[in-house]
A and B are shown apart, each in its own frame.
Chain A
Amino acid sequence: MAVNPKKHEMPTQAPQVRAHNFQEVALGYPVEIAVEEAKRCLNCKNKPCVNGCPVNINIPDFITQIKQSNFEEAYRIINQSSSLPAVCGRVCPQETQCESQCTLHVRAKMDPVGIGRLERFVADWHNAHANEKAQAPTPNGHKVAVVGAGPSGLTCAGDLAKKGYKVTIYEALHTAGGVLVYGIPEFRLPKSIVAKEVDTLKELGVDVETNVIIGKTLTIDELFEMGFEAVFVGSGAGLPNFMNIPGEAYKGVYSANEFLTRSNLMKAYKDDPQTPIMKGGKVAVVGGGNVAMDAARTALRLGAEKVYIVYRRSMEELPARREEVEHAEEEGIDFRLLCNPIEILGYNNPDDPRDPKNGFVTGIRCVKMELGEPDASGRRRPVAVPGSEFDLDVDTVVMSIGTSPNPLIKSTTKGLEVNKWGGIIVNEDGLTSREHVYAGGDAVTGAATVISAMGAGKVAAKAIDEALSGK
């Protein structure tokens, strides 16, 4: 039977409906479609897709199980490599990872197998049908501390717990999940899914201590004094970057971290929230990454009448996942490409210093850009077009131009070396300059993807196991 050249479409909420609610956009494959999509897999011998996966999930094996409707077995195979399948199936950039290596795509120039959609299907099926609790393995007597309950920390903790390590995760915020709960919005990754994955880790015997800020409440040295034999630092993204242009202190200018944290973690998207957020009006989101897409689409769902993405390069260089960009376009987000903000404009009534509108954002002044010679990153450098300044009238500006690693741990841990951007320096095993201290995720790389953080957590878990099991 000939292979269907097209990937099965993902059922989604209609754009005009979903633009006004926070429910999940992509609805997931039904069973029949999942089996049909699985049948597109050639089960090729050299498995190029596995190398494209940062955590090396045995992709053809789990897809083979879907073909045979053995969904629980498919889950078991994924779970050997990934502690967070329902998360990865939703937020991984598969088109640049596993799916980009798919033989159907590379050799036959067809759509690749929908690996991400199948992974999500399997994880959702498991969550809906499996009622057995995860079994905690026999303890091996070793204790490991994990700093930060985000993707890298959860992965590292999960892998070690499965090997019998007693793992305690210390989380600074009041809820476990890191960027999965404060950053990625409900419509892309429901919080109940993250909570479920965290519960699975707890069933494996992992302790999660919230409200503990490592570097402040406890130091890394104290963790060793408490009997932990190794520490994994996955403290995540830190201080948001701003552009250092005039007007960034006006009321209505947010970092993407703040805007998304207010909406997601603090539930400001609900009616009558205790945590306020600016809703409605016109919004400009500056940046072109996944976080920028999340912020823009959140603003829309909060009731904005108009949302712009302002990005200084062209669509080709825009780093967000294609699917997120397409969803954003369908929902009516206005992409202003090759535009760069040079000033944020605000209201100042010279006659009345008590005017309540004083100090609020009224607009953003941009300059048009054109692409020049390639820069160090290989991308063509955007150059301002002289005399092309123009203003967009907006009430809210969200700066989504990256973050620098969290400063709290490096400032309180002697001997922990960081690079000039503040990222913790690690070797290929995730080992830092301090003995038995490992690190991974955004704390090392600066802002990157969930799956690369998970990959780093996995590498470190393996190295920690090798270092401690010989003891």
Chain B
Amino acid sequence: MYKIVRKRVLNPTVTQIEVDAPLVARKAKPGQFIILRVDEEGERIPLTVAGTNPEEGTVKVIFQVVGATTEILNHKEAGDYLQDFAGPLGLATHTGGIKNVCVVGGGAGCAIAMPVAEEFHRLGAKVTSIIGFRNKDLLILEDEFKACSDQLIVMTDDGSYGRHGNVTVPLKEMLEAGEQYDMIITIGPLIMMKFVVAAAKPFGVPVTASMNPIMIDGTGMCGGCRITLIQDGKRVTKFACVDGPDFNGYEIDFDEAMSRGRMYAAYERHAYEEACNLFKDA
């Protein structure tokens, strides 16, 4: 069992927890993820590591309430225990040789983008962060991004905070103004990452996208997390859990990934409603 040491509500649907998991805390690097189960009958869900405290032995993860499991998880408080917490899994974000990076995060994906931005800052790279949210109420981690970014641009879809519009607007402006990024790293909804790739393409800037497909074991056994890369015109199957979760954005078949991500949409909606009813009764 793994104790939740601290809990912090970041916005009405996004929560940060710090979990006592010393072995994971010693090893986890930005870009890697863990798999947790809330209880004995629970699903295995992958969550990206949002930070570690090796001395204390804790691992920080941030999750958005999107379905039944995250709803149940959100009802756990500091002092409660999780059934399972395994990791770190996947490959760490590649940082070598990158001196000027643009980190583009969207929604809850900013929780994953933030430790990546922090890592580049720690390594001495110039960090530009563009973070986007639907509205002001959903904004998370602004202070954390400010602390590790040479420049931070906050976007909201409805203009209720920061600049009005989506993340590709300032990205295009900066690329057009001649900004020479060594790498753009994008983490967020698939549709946003697809458009970030499209925006960067005319400028030939490399893009890394962090994929978050449906997963079960996370250790390279089940193959559920497979995504398709298009390399030299050929379709190549990769497994996000062991080959990723970061991939070359230009190679990813985003449309296929979006379709696969909705495989259990109907089931999940039903399960989520059931879970919500459970807590209403209680």
Expressed in whole angstroms, the Cα–Cα distance for A294 and B274 within the complex equals 31
Q: How far is the CA of A259 from the CA of B274 in the complex (A)?
A: 24
- Which parts of B1-41 form the interface with A (CB within 8 Å)? 23-24, 27, 37, 41
Known contacts A248-B237, A249-B260, A276-B264: A212-B86 contact under CB 8 Å: yes
B89 CB within 8 Å of chain A: yes
Contacts of B223 in A (CB 8 A): 239-240, 242, 255, 257-258
The interface residues of chain B lying within 8 Å CB-to-CB of A217 are 23-24, 27, 86-88
Partner of A172, one of B217, B226, B239: B217
Q: Which chain B positions have C-beta within 8 A of A182? A: 217, 221
The DSSP consensus for interface residues of chain A is loop
Contact of A174 among B86, B242, B268 (CB under 8 A): B86
Q: How large is the interface on B (under 10, 10 to 19, 20 to 34, 35 or more residues)?
A: 35 or more
Q: Does A359 contact B (CB under 8 A)?
A: yes
Q: Are B83 and A266 in contact (CB under 8 A)?
A: no
Indicate if A213 sits at the interface (CB-CB under 8 A). yes
Question: CA A330 – CA B85 in complex, angstroms?
Answer: 42
**In the docked arrangement, what's the CA distance between A216 and B220, Å?**
12
B residues engaging A (CB < 8 A)? 23-24, 27, 37, 41-44, 68-69, 83-89, 216-217, 219-224, 226, 228, 237, 239, 242, 253, 256, 259-260, 262-268, 271, 274
Decide if A211 touches B222 in the complex (CB within 8 Å): no
Indicate if the CB atoms of B221 and A239 lie closer than 8 Å.
Answer: yes
The reply to whether B43 and A257 form a contact with Cβ atoms under 8 Å apart is: no
A residues less than 8 Å from B271 (CB atoms): 274, 276
Say whether A406 faces chain B, with CB atoms less than 8 Å apart: yes
Residues of A within 8 Å of B224, CB to CB, are 254-255, 258
A-B contact pairs, 23 of them (CB 8 A): A172-B219, A173-B86, A173-B217, A174-B44, A216-B88, A217-B23, A218-B23, A238-B221, A239-B239, A242-B226, A249-B228, A249-B260, A251-B260, A252-B263, A254-B224, A257-B222, A258-B216, A266-B216, A274-B43, A275-B44, A276-B271, A356-B265, A358-B259
In the complex, A257 Cα to B224 Cα: how many Å? 9
B27, closest chain A residue (CB): A217
Give Cα A272 to B271, complex, Å: 8
Shortest Cβ distance from residue B248 to the other chain A in the assembled complex, whole angstroms? 18
Chain B residues contacting A254 (CB-CB under 8 Å) are 224
Could you list which residues of chain A lie within 8 angstroms of chain B, going by C-beta atoms? 172-174, 182, 210-213, 216-218, 236-240, 242, 244, 248-249, 251-252, 254-255, 257-258, 261-262, 266-267, 272-276, 356, 358-359, 406-408
B37 touches A174 (CB 8 A): yes
Name 11 extra pairs, CB < 8 A, besides A239-B223, A274-B68.
A236-B221, A237-B221, A239-B221, A242-B223, A242-B237, A257-B221, A257-B223, A261-B216, A276-B267, A359-B259, A407-B242
